[in-house]
Amino acid sequence: MKYFLASLALAVGLSSLALYGADEKVVSPAKPGEQPAVVATAFKASTLIGMTVKNTKDEKVGTISDFVVDAPTGRIRYAAVSVGGFLGIGDKLFAIPWKAMLLKHESNGACFVLDVNKDRLRNAPGFSKDHWPDFGDPKYGIELDQYYGVDADQRAEVSPRVK
């Protein structure tokens, strides 16, 4: 029985590593005598899809529905965030610049934080799941980045900030 419990504990531990990814990043340096805070920073896309997006007031504003990837660089440019609706019906999508979000690790899992209130998000340029905008249009990308406060230097960075 004790071998079964030890095996079960090992399996749970390994599966949690697979869920959150293998790449980790030290997000807060350790004080003398303490361990540094280390969190996962690489995730499978299937783990991110469905992840909660909150605002800075800790209110849920939506969930990650899909991604827009810049094919030449392989970088995620935008997360399609689903807002409203019920079970995917009647929801509206918003292209949120990847760099506008903060990855936050909480005791019950990870989420993304977007510094935008609910009214500003409701008034943002959105689209339906059946009619996506032309992300190849540089003007559209600049307008989105400016709306969410992402500057040219941030667009050149690889990954979202981590808290």
Question: By CB neighbour count within 10 A (0-12 exposed, 13-18 middle, 19+ buried), where does 150 fall?
Answer: buried
- The one-character DSSP state at 46 is H
pLDDT value for 96 = 94
pLDDT at 64 over 90: yes
**Residue 66 pLDDT exceeds 90:** yes
Which amino acid, 98?
W
Question: Which comes out higher in pLDDT, residue 47 or 7?
Answer: 47
* pLDDT, tens digit, 9 for 90 and up, residues 94-125: 999 998 998 888 888 889 999 888 888 888 88
User: Can you give the pLDDT at residue 107?
Assistant: 80
Residue with more model confidence, 135 or 24 = 135
What is the 8-class DSSP label of residue 138?
Answer: H
Whether the per-residue pLDDT at 80 is higher than 90: the answer is yes
What distance in Å separates the CA atoms of residue 52 and residue 104, rounded to the nearest whole number? Answer: 10
The residues facing 7 across adjacent strands are: none
Looking at residues 10-20, what average pLDDT do you find? 38
Q: Is the pLDDT of residue 39 over 70?
A: no
pLDDT score of 21: 42
Q: Is the pTM of this model over 0.75?
A: no
Which has more pLDDT, 156 or 131? 131
Question: Which domains occur in the chain, in start order?
Answer: 1-42 (no CATH), 44-162 (2.30.30.240)
